[in-house]
A and B are shown apart, each in its own frame.
Chain A
């Protein structure tokens, strides 16, 4: 791509990822892994902001719990991949964005869609296959789209969306619109070619994108150790001369701050970053996965580290009363119930919708 031709050697290593040291931060990383004690967040924390992010996470979780219920009742079909356990990643990272920035994700997309501004009822109606859903009932759970909020979709082919996200960043640089693209994917996507081609080009062309690898330790039933020869995903950035970061997603404000640094780099320097965020999904890969590949003890241990509980405890430490939190829960509950009702009462799309949505202009036969 013509344009900025920064010399590699001119780049400063970032605070969190020195390009020269492959084993960077492993000791710090190991320490974080055990950091399950809730302590008061940094002094400059904005309680209202934490409360807002907590509310978003809690809303996503409650919406998805209702999705699981509706799925069991046969009201939702196909594949349903829940984000439960990973909410702090989507919510924290999108909190670092401007409204006109772009996000692109996988089939596990309810959380990022809602964090980017999609209403719960639009998600629910889509999953119910209704015409009032975000994609008019044509996409379903895996394919949530919301153009006006910069949600460029959930995609079903592992890794296939990563080059597409780079394309969005390319367009931003081309137009000089100052937007940043966040691209989400699991560690399972790191083994597929399009991941590497996308990173290679994003680095070569200095594009304003942040690659967020949500490393939840399992790609379907395959544990990390059998997916990657080097478990530190962030190291993949080294070969491309790309900045990197790596941390646990336990604290939603930390997610915001760390991703924020990468977003800032993208926006001001037009440089991409690969960020590995360690997280955990509490449910199966999808609703049909019995999850025999991990023990109940492992899941219980992870649930003790639930970022939602952490945020709630922090809010209490910061002075929010039980009453205030209960009121928040009530509001969320009302929103969830309204979403379900809306989805149930909405109309289904008819066949006349199929051709006009396939092509712009006349159908090409």
Chain B
């Protein structure tokens, strides 16, 4: 195995799929000559040229829709949002066109497109630039939503997403881009991760922490804190928010009988609420305590650094919730 950063893992996935399939192209703001606002696409413009690495002006609704149209007639576009915050401008194209065209055409048209970019908070970028868009997309039938936490999953899932025939929202995180981890060497053959399968990041016996994206890493820190107190936490990293692999979650809860769901987005509704519902719906008899959620604070993200951290799930807050479901607080 070799260790590479999450950012490079994404870049490899894009490059390999572009190499493999001429229908795959990438478009977005500053993806080409500028080498990507967050450098995910660094080098791709030089390698693939301006036919396939396409710089767009600031027109999210326009270029997301162009991607959808091109996908309907046979291309496989990757549309980069500089951040997912700006996807709100393109929401109508994703909601009303990408997600609908297959069903409303009676299955005649498919829309193989990947929308991708960093989601959620970065560092002190304020309320308009710190939004977790997870639930807005996971709510929509017709879309698949992926949110990998590790470089390995970033690569394997992005490749799977590009090959998938459905519109996919691929949520990354600016704060994960430098995270390093094991990723198979391309020389060892084609590597993809199946969409729709959660992954047990750490095994444990006392409590299950369900999470995804950056907060899975925070959950791992929480598990380390709990270990010092003799509590064994299992961390389930969802990886895919839609489809949602509740089987893996329920298997874990069947073992621990207690669960905490941790995520960055707001508490009202949300993917976390969906996970809690599935646990109670399918695993009620397994539970020894109500399931708790640790979420981002129920307010727009403040700029002040300490308040921002106050609003985000921390290892300590996740650990405290775990102790609560263990009645050890």
Interface of A with B (CB < 8 Å)? 77-79, 129-130, 135, 137-140, 142-143, 155-160, 188-189, 191-194, 219-222, 226-228, 293, 348-351, 353-355, 357-358, 365
Q: How far is the CA of A157 from the CA of B128 in the complex (A)?
A: 7
- Is the CB–CB distance between B304 and A156 below 8 Å? no
Q: How far is the CA of A354 from the CA of B129 in the complex (A)?
A: 17
- Is the CB–CB distance between B124 and A140 below 8 Å? yes
Q: How far is the CA of A30 from the CA of B297 in the complex (A)?
A: 54
Query: Quick one: which of B118-168 are within 8 Å of A by CB?
Result: 122-129
Residue B113, interface by CB 8 Å:
no
Q: How far is the CA of A158 from the CA of B29 in the complex (A)?
A: 12
Q: Contacts A78-B124, A221-B33 known; A354 to B57 CB distance under 8 Å?
A: no
Contacts of B284 on A, CB cut-off 8 Å? none
Q: How far is the CA of A193 from the CA of B34 in the complex (A)?
A: 24
* Residue in A155, A222, A348 whose CB lies within 8 Å of B55: A222
Q: Contacts A139-B303, A143-B126, A155-B128 known; A220 to B30 CB distance under 8 Å?
A: yes
- Is the CB–CB distance between A192 and B306 below 8 Å? no
Contacts of A354 on B, CB cut-off 8 Å? 297, 299, 302, 307, 311
- Is the CB–CB distance between B57 and A188 below 8 Å? yes
Q: Which of B14-22, B82-90, B178-186, B194-202 is near enough to bind chain A?
A: B82-90
Report the nearest B residue to A76, measured CB to CB. B124
Residue B73, interface by CB 8 Å:
no
- Is the CB–CB distance between B58 and A159 below 8 Å? yes
Q: Contacts A192-B60, A220-B34 known; A79 to B311 CB distance under 8 Å?
A: no
Q: Which of B61, B129, B310, B311 has the most CB of A within 10 A?
A: B129
* Residue in A78, A293, A365 whose CB lies within 8 Å of B126: A78
Q: Contacts A77-B124, A78-B124 known; A293 to B33 CB distance under 8 Å?
A: yes
Contacts of B304 on A, CB cut-off 8 Å? 129-130, 137-138, 140, 348-349
Q: How far is the CA of A338 from the CA of B125 in the complex (A)?
A: 26
Q: Contacts A222-B29, A222-B30, A354-B302 known; A156 to B59 CB distance under 8 Å?
A: no
Residue B4, interface by CB 8 Å:
no
* Residue in B30, B33, B125 whose CB lies within 8 Å of A79: B125
Residue B289, interface by CB 8 Å:
no
Q: Contacts A77-B123, A222-B34, A226-B55 known; A142 to B61 CB distance under 8 Å?
A: no
Residue B290, interface by CB 8 Å:
no
- Is the CB–CB distance between B37 and A220 below 8 Å? yes
Query: What is the CB-to-nearest-CB distance from B137 to chain A, in angstroms, rounded to a whole number?
Result: 18
Q: Contacts A77-B305, A354-B311 known; A191 to B30 CB distance under 8 Å?
A: no
Interface of B with A (CB < 8 Å)? 29-30, 33-34, 37, 55, 57-62, 85-86, 88-89, 122-129, 297-300, 302-307, 310-311
Contacts of B305 on A, CB cut-off 8 Å? 77, 129
Contacts of B29 on A, CB cut-off 8 Å? 220, 222
* Residue in A78, A191, A293, A355 whose CB lies within 8 Å of B299: A355
- Is the CB–CB distance between B303 and A192 below 8 Å? no
Q: How far is the CA of A221 from the CA of B45 in the complex (A)?
A: 14
Interface CB pairs A-B, < 8 A, 13? A77-B124, A78-B123, A79-B125, A129-B124, A139-B126, A140-B125, A140-B126, A142-B129, A143-B303, A219-B58, A222-B34, A226-B57, A354-B311
Q: Which of B29, B57, B88, B89 has the most CB of A within 10 A?
A: B57
Contacts of B60 on A, CB cut-off 8 Å? 192
Contacts of A130 on B, CB cut-off 8 Å? 304
Contacts of B125 on A, CB cut-off 8 Å? 78-79, 140, 142, 156
Q: How far is the CA of A227 from the CA of B310 in the complex (A)?
A: 39
Q: How far is the CA of A228 from the CA of B59 in the complex (A)?
A: 11
Q: Contacts A77-B123, A139-B126, A221-B33 known; A157 to B302 CB distance under 8 Å?
A: no
In the A-B complex, the 6 residue pairs with the closest CB atoms = A140-B303, A77-B124, A78-B124, A221-B34, A191-B57, A156-B128
Report the nearest A residue to B298, measured CB to CB. A365
Q: How far is the CA of A358 from the CA of B33 in the complex (A)?
A: 40
Contacts of A143 on B, CB cut-off 8 Å? 126-128, 303
Q: Contacts A77-B124, A193-B62 known; A219 to B57 CB distance under 8 Å?
A: yes
Q: How far is the CA of A154 from the CA of B58 in the complex (A)?
A: 18
Report the nearest A residue to B88, measured CB to CB. A157
Report the nearest A residue to B90, measured CB to CB. A193
Contacts of B303 on A, CB cut-off 8 Å? 77-78, 129, 135, 137-140, 143
Contacts of B298 on A, CB cut-off 8 Å? 365
Query: What is the CB-to-nearest-CB distance from A38 to chain B, in angstroms, rounded to a whole number?
Result: 35
- Is the CB–CB distance between B302 and A192 below 8 Å? no
Report the nearest A residue to B306, measured CB to CB. A348
Q: How far is the CA of A194 from the CA of B90 in the complex (A)?
A: 12
Q: How far is the CA of A157 from the CA of B37 in the complex (A)?
A: 15
Q: Contacts A351-B307, A351-B310, A358-B300 known; A192 to B124 CB distance under 8 Å?
A: no
Contacts of A191 on B, CB cut-off 8 Å? 57-59, 62
Q: Contacts A192-B89, A221-B30, A222-B29 known; A227 to B128 CB distance under 8 Å?
A: no
- Is the CB–CB distance between B61 and A193 below 8 Å? yes
Contacts of A159 on B, CB cut-off 8 Å? 58, 89
Q: How far is the CA of A293 from the CA of B122 in the complex (A)?
A: 25
Contacts of A357 on B, CB cut-off 8 Å? 299
Q: Which of B126, B299, B305 has the most CB of A within 10 A?
A: B126
Q: How far is the CA of A353 from the CA of B306 in the complex (A)?
A: 13
Q: How far is the CA of A215 from the CA of B298 in the complex (A)?
A: 38
Q: How far is the CA of A78 from the CA of B124 in the complex (A)?
A: 4
Query: What is the CB-to-nearest-CB distance from A21 to chain B, in angstroms, rounded to a whole number?
Result: 26
Contacts of B57 on A, CB cut-off 8 Å? 188, 191, 219, 222, 226-228
- Is the CB–CB distance between B128 and A137 below 8 Å? no
Q: How far is the CA of A227 from the CA of B57 in the complex (A)?
A: 5
- Is the CB–CB distance between B307 and A157 below 8 Å? no
Q: How far is the CA of A235 from the CA of B116 in the complex (A)?
A: 34
- Is the CB–CB distance between A188 and B58 below 8 Å? yes
- Is the CB–CB distance between B306 and A157 below 8 Å? no
Q: How far is the CA of A228 from the CA of B56 in the complex (A)?
A: 10
Q: How far is the CA of A350 from the CA of B307 in the complex (A)?
A: 7
Q: Contacts A157-B85, A348-B304 known; A189 to B310 CB distance under 8 Å?
A: no
Report the nearest A residue to B123, measured CB to CB. A77
Contacts of B55 on A, CB cut-off 8 Å? 222, 226
